[in-house]
Structure 1
């Protein structure tokens, strides 16, 4: 239980950090990279929040909501992971030229 609570806190802090770094960056590809990493941390937040809520309440309703949160989290992490790899490669290509 304590693991998921700490994961929720760390992931939301890293999500906010990446969102702030978007505003501080001037390069559009770097901004998109930070946005994609923020999506990964948002997915981790949603997933760990859903699991921690199920472990706290242990009802059938919280199970369904936790499963829904986990599905959304996996989709968010998957999209953020693919986008971050893409924008990292684009940044390296642009840095070479």
Structure 2
């Protein structure tokens, strides 16, 4: 199963990309938005890593650890998704309001 290592690598690279973009940004709202996007990819990294470990080892202990990683990854991605939607709406409000 070559698909899971590819998904793990892609999500890790996107996580690092968004973390670097946070450092490059000066606006705090943009930083919060980029941090929420990075949480989504961190969650997907943990999720796919948990699945990959069970597929690779197929033991009871790897099943329990894999389930734990899957649950942590889902919750991290869900929280990042909610925060991303919130900050995206805040950013649109900021763009719509007149600048003074």
- Does residue 68 of the first structure (1) align with residue 61 of the second (2)? no
Gaps of 5+ in 2: none
Aligned equivalent of 1:5: 5
Pairwise CA RMSD? 0.5
Gaps of 5+ in 1: none
Task: Quote the Cα distance in structure 1 between the aligned partners of 2:75 and 2:59.
Answer: 24
Based on CA coordinates, which of the two structures has the bigger radius of gyration? 2
- Does residue 52 of the first structure (1) align with residue 33 of the second (2)? no
For residue 26 of structure 1, give the secondary structure of its aligned residue in structure 2: coil
Moved over 2 A (4+): none
Scaled by the length of structure 1, the TM-score of the pair is 0.98
Q: How many residues align?
A: 97
User: Post-superposition shift, 1:72?
Assistant: 0.2
User: Post-superposition shift, 1:96?
Assistant: 1.1
Scaled by the length of structure 2, the TM-score of the pair is 0.95
Aligned equivalent of 1:17: 17
